Amino acid sequence: MAWQVKFAILVLIWGSSFLFMKVGLEAMTPIQIATMRVLTGMVVVLALLAMTGGRLPTTWRVWRHMIVIGFFLSAFPFTLFAISETRVSSALAGIGNSTTPIATVLATMVLIPNARTSTRKIVAVLIGFVGVILIAQPWTVAERPDLVGFAMAVVGGASYGVGWTYYHRFLSGADLGGLSQPAAVLVVGAGFLVPASLVVWWLDRGHQATPWATHGTANGFQAWLPLLAVIALGALGTGLAFMFQYDVVRAAGPVVGSTITYLIPIVSVLLGTLVLGEHLSWSAVAGFVVVLGAALVINAPERRAESEPVASA
């Protein structure tokens, strides 16, 4: 399969993940969705890892950092996005995901102080914040989204930026190979979410008979639709997508691979509007365009000095 096909499939899979979460909430709690997502994805990635002859990291040096990385790349954002969609639309939650490049710049300034951050990127970050304010619309009460729900989506998107920056700071020189890194991320995510889901169930056991009990009154096939949506979210959006992302970056390079970040919220907005009938205000659309433009500027390659020789292949 050509990398261009995998790229298109990856955009559709990750863009539809917000729709899957919204459907899953019809019968499952946010912590159930996050836990089932990471467990299903972990099974898929571990199976692919075994099929390709790979293995999980074996040293404590790697695992102690993977605990932090796995938290910020799986357990924390998966939970936040699911909770946010109990308060805001799937389209708006997808827009929150577009703040990842902005958070990456800020995390780099904190975690990698020796890294040079250009004035262009700092200005883009400030413009990105203006876009977030436009989406939140704090000046109005009638049309603005639920600020807590939108903030959760923004923090969820920012979590990816923190996690990848931490990985670059502490494990960029570690040769984990193939699917070892994403498999370790999901194993750590399961280590956080399984105990958390049991604690949440124990505290709410008066309303939930078992940790896996669902809610809702739908019968027949409709009762299975939320469950199927979450299984697809885990197997496709968290399992198969990791493999496709690795193949795309390997074949086309990290610059092309990073453009997926811009297309994911576009797909989530389209699906939320067309499938779920969600509505976005003009201010939210304008803010999304501003945030997207800021992300493009942040990820644009730096210009080389004219005196710098161009390396040949």
Query: Helices 221-234 and 3-24: crossing angle, nearest 10°?
Result: 130
Decide if 208 contacts 8 (C-beta within 8 A). no
Three-state DSSP at 155 gives helix
CA–CA separation, 169 and 263 (whole Å)? 27
pLDDT tier, 312 (very low <50, low <70, confident <90, very high otherwise): very low
Predicted confidence (pLDDT) at residue 302 exceeds the cutoff of 70: no
**What's the average model confidence in pLDDT over 65-69?**
95
Distances in whole angstroms, Cα of residue 121 to Cα of each of 87, 111, 255: 32, 16, 16
Give the domain ranges of the chain.
3-299
- What is the structure's pLDDT at 1? 76
Q: Which residues contact 140 (CB under 8 A, 6 or more apart)?
A: none
| More confident: 148 or 143 | 148
Residues 35-52 pLDDT 10s: 999 999 999 999 999 998
259: enclosing H helix or E strand? none
Least confident of 14-23, 275-284, 287-296, 304-313: 304-313
Q: How far apart are CA 164 and CA 185, in angstroms?
A: 11
Determine the 3-state secondary structure of 15 from DSSP.
helix
pLDDT-based confidence at residue 309 (cuts at 50, 70, 90): very low
Higher pLDDT, 220 or 265: 265
pLDDT at 129: 85
Q: 103 with 162: CB under 8 angstroms?
A: yes
% the chain with pLDDT above 70: 89
57-66, 180-189, 226-235, 262-271: least confident range = 262-271
| 108, 163, 268 from 167: Cα distances, Å | 11, 6, 27
On whether the CB atoms of residues 28 and 230 are closer than 8 A, the answer is yes
Of 282, 226, 249, 266, nearest in space to 14 by CA: 266
Alpha-carbon distance of 137 to 74, in angstroms, equals 29
Q: What value does the mean pLDDT take over residues 30-38?
A: 95
Average pLDDT over residues 274-280: 87
Closest CA to 121 of 308, 304, 297: 297
Res 79 pLDDT > 90: yes
Alpha-carbon span 223 to 23, nearest angstrom: 11
Q: Is the pLDDT of residue 58 over 60?
A: yes
